[in-house]
Amino acid sequence: MKKLSLFILMLSAFFINGCMINNVPKYDEEVKAKWAQLMNEYKRRADLIPNLVRVVQGYAKHEKDVLTEVTKLRSKVVNLQASKDLLNNPKAFEEYVAAQQKLSSALARLLAISERYPDLKASKNFLMLQSQLEGTENRIAVARRDYIEAVKKYNLELRTIPNKWIAHLLYPDAKIRPTFTIDQKDMKVPEVRFN
């Protein structure tokens, strides 16, 4: 009987160790890696913006408001990105996500300017930068999706039983991670008018 109890105890310990004990740090590192990749894509976009603004400035001198807005929002995003506390501070995270969404909107307006300037639309530099920016936006979307999935897996680990108990005992500092949400105003379909 003693041997059977010892065997069951060892088997249980092996099962817990092999299946659940290391999940929290493993998933946490996965979240951090996905976040780092997303930051890499955001940085790539931020690096493209000054070149795009310079090209557009040469053609659309009286579109100063849009150019200034894009430049200011880029600076804000770069400054917010420097914060090491984004993942652990929900308020800072929300502020950063909101700034990225505003920058995306401003970039869309900047790219729409090209429709009014045929010479700009035909510029090889503009077309190359526009293509790079579109590719970067696609990579940002993929990186955001990957981050959301990693956060989902991590947060489920912290919220489901028995994983929740193990996490509470062994990783008391582990906290639910924030994820991206879409503001209701961003869900509205834009109004299109043809004059």
114-162: pLDDT as tens digits: 788 888 777 888 888 888 999 999 999 999 999 999 999 999 999 998 8
**What does pTM read for this prediction?**
0.76
End-to-end CA distance of the chain: 88
Q: Considering the domain boundaries, does residue 105 fall inside one?
A: yes
The ranges of the chain with pLDDT < 70 are 1, 6-7, 9-19, 62, 82-84, 182-195
DSSP secondary structure string for all residues of 33-67: HHHHHHHHHHHHHHHHHHHHHHHHHHH-TT-HHHH
* CATH code for the domain of 85: 1.20.1440.20
**CB atoms < 10 A from the CB of 126, how many?**
21
Q: Considering the domain boundaries, does residue 6 fall inside one?
A: no
Q: Considering the domain boundaries, does residue 67 fall inside one?
A: yes
Can you give the pLDDT at residue 7?
64
Amino acid identity, residue 116?
A: R
Question: How many structural domains does the chain have?
Answer: 1
